[in-house]
Amino acid sequence: MSTLFLILSWNILAPTYAQPLLFPETTTNDTLLISRSYMSIINNINHFVNCNLWKKRPCQHLFSYSDSVISLAFSPLIHMGFGTMTTSRQIPYFNRKGLRISGHIKEKILFYSEFTDNQIGLPPALRYYIDTSLNSVLPHFIWTKNFDGYLNDTVLTKGIDFNDARSLLTIIAMDKPFLAFSIGFATNQIGYGYLTPFLSYRTSPYTFLRADFEYKRWKYLILWATMKHFTGVPASRPFPNKHFVAHTLEFQISKRLTLAFHEQIMMFRDTTSLLPDWNYFNPIIFFRTVEHYLGSPDNAGLGLSLMYRHKWFRTWLNLFIDDLFISHLQADIKQAITGKPQYFAGSYLNKWAISTGFAIIWNNLHIQSEHIRIRPFTYSHSSVLQNFSHYGYGLAHPRGANLWEALLKVTYKFNKWEVGSMFIAFKQGIDTGSANYGGNIFKNFHYPTRYYGNYTTQGLPLYIYNTHVWISYKFNSSLYADLYFLLRQLSLPSYNEQNAMILLSLRWHLFNPYNTLWFDL
């Protein structure tokens, strides 16, 4: 489990950005907690001393200050790029600029805050999906404003404009055992790998409180978050609040094997409540028991994660259970074994998701492969205010449920160069007309098209294949030049689309949004 504190250390020590990363460091750090990131800050505390662009020993900061009490750094955020694409007059481009402030006080209070102003020209496929499905919400960010323009009579510069802000404040209460408390406006992730079925970095930012604890082989985190039910461009009142609570307990069974248990709750009390139900603030109780005690008004989920690692190899599994009826599950198993139809098989009430993956890290070569399968109606609820979503997106996968996705990523670094490629295959069953096949988590799952005989990817089949190849050159610790080639293929029974895009960019501290946007949608 990668953590938000890891984001803090990246912003102080490395040229990555506090946004959803393609492959969070869960697969290399093997930890649910923030202690390793904290130690990296402490071990590199001299990074702030006499370190800015105006001195002989340059680093990633425009300006920094450090003394025995406080260390403070100001960093510019710049990312500009443009490209060309087939089958469209639209020029893909991005113009992003901002400022980040980061640092610590006495190595016990750590913080960062950043703001960016953004203009992005989107590929037509992504633009269409945003306009029709997400009501102008850009993946990973917030709702946007449109603007139109022409470079000349034939080339469009149509795009979107929005602001983005992230922040985190963490207080280290104890070192041994390790205990930290954080408040922030950003994203979190629970689970191993990129395709996690629990809580993903791929959501929009939200306000949260969290506590992290580590002692010997035990690690524990608890997260309270206030999320939003997105209802469209705001008029005169705030979006309705919905509250998410989760906790995870991880135990290192042996040197190579780690096991984690997870619970999460989505609740709604009223549109203006700022904090989750007080009953869920007990950090050492089973949330499902509390939810039952309250009269079962909320949406609960359970899960577990396993990771096995050995030197250069690691593999993992995540299992999330939204709802599970044992008698219906037995019917599924019996039907699979005997091949004979069973009455309760394929019940719409059995809602679960599973993801698996492995990574090979050999010197400068990194190979990673993952697969996720999400049953129909998973993450949905009788009320859209209590489904597992935030700002128009699913908390785990942006497209919701009733899908499978597989990816393969290979990167190789040598000197100041990085060469990489990634391939993603995706299939989802989508609804037709008034049908509800379980892919749209914003529909009431109590009104399915059929109660039994459901299977993953049922409905109208949507296929998406993404191929991504890139080469990056590192000028210094924070300045990169990137050249990207992307090929996206979309297929429906009566429609096929293929787009190719080439992008050239220069980035200072910021990530390339096309890394994630194209692959999520």
End-to-end CA distance of the chain: 24
Q: In a 3-state reduction of DSSP, which class is residue 516?
A: helix
> Do residues 349 and 378 lie in contact, with contact meaning Cβ atoms separated by under 8 Å?
no
Six token digits for residue 24: 């969070």
What is the Cα–Cα distance from 289 to 50, expressed in whole angstroms? Answer: 54
Q: Is 186 helix (H, G, I), strand (E, B) or coil?
A: strand
Of the candidates 159, 143, 137, 189, the one whose C-alpha atom is nearest the C-alpha of residue 24 is 189
The candidate with the shortest Cα–Cα distance to 359, out of 321, 314, 424, 391, is 314
DSSP string covering 25-37: THHHH--SSSHHH
- Which H helix or E strand runs over 328? helix 326-338
pTM of the model: 0.88
Both structure tokens of 478: 């924070």
Closest Cα partner for 227 from 399, 380, 383, 391? 391
**Helix (H, G, I), strand (E, B), or coil: what is residue 12?**
helix
CB atoms within 10 A of CB 143: 20
Tokens of 470: 């890139």
**Are 2 and 24 contacting, i.e. CB atoms less than 8 angstroms apart?**
yes
According to the model, what pLDDT value does residue 73 have?
A: 83
Nearest to 377 by CA among 312, 315, 441, 292: 441
DSSP-based helix, strand, coil % in the chain, nearest 5: 15, 45, 40
Residue whose entry in the numeric block shows the structure tokens 């002692």: 215
The answer to whether the bond into 276 is cis (omega within 30° of 0) is no
Question: Which is it for the CA torsion 446, 450, 451, 453, positive or negative?
Answer: negative
User: Exposed/middle/buried for 173, CB within 10 Å: 0-12, 13-18, 19+?
Assistant: middle
What's the structural domain count of the chain?
A: 1
Residue 234 lies in a domain: no
Give me the pLDDT at residue 249, please: 92
Mean pLDDT by 10 residues, the chain (521 residues): 31 26 34 43 50 59 80 85 80 85 86 88 73 71 77 68 88 88 89 89 88 89 91 72 93 91 92 82 91 91 92 92 90 89 90 94 91 97 92 90 95 92 94 92 93 94 92 83 90 87 83 52 56
> In angstroms, rounded to a whole number, what is the distance separating the alpha carbons of residues 275 and 90?
43
Return the SS3 of 207: strand
Is 334 in contact with 304 (CB distance < 8 Å)?
Answer: no
Residue 120 sits in a domain of what CATH number? Answer: 2.40.160.10
How far does Cα 209 stand from its chain's mean position?
Answer: 18
Q: Considering Cα of 85, then 194, then 29, then 61, what sign does the dihedral take?
A: positive
pLDDT, residue 311, reads 85
Sign of CA dihedral 278, 282, 287, 290: negative
3-class secondary structure for 35-65? HHHHHHHHHCHHHHCCCCCCCCCCCCCCEEE
Q: For residue 25, give the nearest of 41, 5, 55 by alpha carbon.
A: 5
**Residue 205 three-state SS:** coil
With respect to residue 235, please indicate whether it lies within any of the assigned structural domains.
no
Total count of residues recorded for the chain = 521
Q: Which helix (H) or strand (E) holds 330?
A: helix 326-338
Distance CA 372, CA 319 (A): 10
Tokens 């309250």 belong to 294
Q: Which residues contact 392 (CB under 8 A, 6 or more apart)?
A: 133, 134, 135, 137, 230
Decide: 182 and 162 in contact? Cβ < 8 Å.
Answer: no
What is d(CA 390, CA 387) in angstroms, rounded to the nearest whole number? 9
CA-nearest of 86, 192, 77, 201 to 515 is 201
Whether the CB-CB separation of 190 and 153 falls below 8 Å is answered with no
Q: Which domain holds residue 374?
A: 4-229+240-520
- Three-point CA angle 5, 11, 13, nearest 5°: 100
**Does residue 404 lie in a domain region?**
yes
Closest CA to 138 of 156, 116, 167: 116
- Are the beta carbons of 388 and 400 closer than 8 angstroms? no
CB 229 within 8 A of CB 388: no
Q: What letters, b where the CB count within 10 A reaches 16 and e where it falls short, cover 190-216?
A: bbbbbbbbbbbbbbbbbbbbbbbbbee
Using alpha carbons, list the distances in angstroms from residue 433 to 442, 493, 521. 15, 15, 21
